[in-house]
Structure 1
């Protein structure tokens, strides 16, 4: 619903966040005049956010230029990812941003949340503590909690520090290029014994690489390793 997007924009601007990216919104973008009127009414003058919304066809494209992606999930989930509360992770997020890294918080659809393939693209997960007997939040509510904790973290010293020298974390686009190449090479060598195991194996590879948080220099090294492995052996 466009009202949910409008309320999300309002929640963001309340706490100083302005960059909103949408993936396949239900209503075609740009909106009709009628829907646009409803959108702006729900946003309650958060026009600065709405005027700069960008729309993407898929999550991969939406986060391609990001260095760190934090995915949202229910408190109890079965994906092997580091999972934090919003309060615990936000100093870490703010420090990354202070180090000129591009950071995104990825929210899934209200009904089902992020699917495994999308979770595999994230570095870490965040779960909002709620009443276990009534834990459902709509999108704008979840964004409000995350934005509030981010804003509150401005006076908090991050517990985790990162010293990467002159190298920056690899972008999601670079990760995708490497993993696509790796998957192609594995395909050529018959690694996938059946099509049924492919999605699980691919998600496992993505999850492992995201947890490693490689720098752009390290990822170039891995690209070089792949090149060396496929190069014909000298006589």
Structure 2
């Protein structure tokens, strides 16, 4: 029981939630299993929504602490490890785990001082591939293929239960000795810096391939789990290469100038 007071549970992020009742139901199951921090990304009907309190069944502290963001990138900016809950990987190659495996991974990461979270999509459309590409793993619930309908609160409840069971039953956590990975804001800044320079160099061709190519790059680089220092080093490499390209272009322009008679 002492571990429960030591480890802060994962943050729960709901992307583009449509119904206040579902947000309240999520708050209720979070409270059931000891999770308390809920973040909303662009809720359809804004926030706060009175109907959420009715279905939260007294889990008021979860709803009162809700923070609202415009994008997933902003909502996970201070987190170093985020797992996206989705029924299928969708063109990405992050590790795919069950809720039980994910709970153990998050437990070890949280015990090592990392800020961790679970990202859930909206009731109808789920998560965008571009948002999944910002995460470090995928959590998929192994439900029976004959009936794959699972509502939002149920999905959160299963993952929240596995977290609590892991905290109560797991052996001592596996502590990291290495420097922790950079948070979401630093990582996203690196991605966008690289993409700007690659775009200027004509890498994204044809232009309609930009979205899929950039997502593949983000997933590939995300698997490396760069530390903050490694992000700074990699951005330095990008800057050096872009400046070098500028010098080459200037030299070519000078060489192409006509010689005065």
TM-score scaled to structure 2, two decimals?
0.82
Q: Which runs of 5+ in 2 are unaligned?
A: 1-18, 252-261
1:4 to 9, 14, 22: 22
1:113 to 123, 126, 132: 126
Whether the 8 Å contact between 1:85 and 1:128 is mirrored in structure 2 is yes
Distance in structure 1 (CA, Å) of the matches to 2:164 and 2:55:
22
Cα deviation, residue 75, structure 1: 5.3
1:89 to 97, 102, 105: 102
Aligned counterpart, 1:163: 177
2:82 to 54, 59, 69: 69
- Counterparts of 1:61-210 in structure 2 under 5 Å? 61-74=74-87, 77-154=90-167, 155-157=169-171, 162-164=176-178, 167-210=179-222
- Counterparts of 1:5-44 in structure 2 under 5 Å? 5-31=23-49, 36=50, 38-44=51-57
Cα deviation, residue 86, structure 1: 0.6
Whether the 8 Å contact between 1:70 and 1:105 is mirrored in structure 2 is yes
Whether the 8 Å contact between 1:13 and 1:49 is mirrored in structure 2 is yes
Q: Which runs of 5+ in 1 are unaligned?
A: none
Distance in structure 2 (CA, Å) of the matches to 1:128 and 1:159:
24
Whether the 8 Å contact between 2:112 and 2:175 is mirrored in structure 1 is no
Distance in structure 1 (CA, Å) of the matches to 2:133 and 2:110:
22
Whether the 8 Å contact between 2:95 and 2:138 is mirrored in structure 1 is yes
Moved over 4 A (4+): 75-78, 158-161, 232-235
Larger Rg: 2
Aligned length: 228
CA root-mean-square deviation: 2.0
Whether the 8 Å contact between 1:67 and 1:101 is mirrored in structure 2 is yes
TM-score scaled to structure 1, two decimals?
0.91
Whether the 8 Å contact between 1:92 and 1:158 is mirrored in structure 2 is no
Distance in structure 2 (CA, Å) of the matches to 1:49 and 1:159:
27
Cα deviation, residue 168, structure 1: 2.2
* 1:162-185 deviation line (CA, Å, top 9, x unaligned): 331xx2210111011111111111
Whether the 8 Å contact between 1:75 and 1:128 is mirrored in structure 2 is no
2:230 to 215, 218, 233: 218
Cα deviation, residue 104, structure 1: 1.0
Distance in structure 1 (CA, Å) of the matches to 2:201 and 2:92:
28
Cα deviation, residue 161, structure 1: 5.7
Q: CA 1:128–1:79 in structure 2 vs 1: closer, same or farther (change >3 Å)? A: same
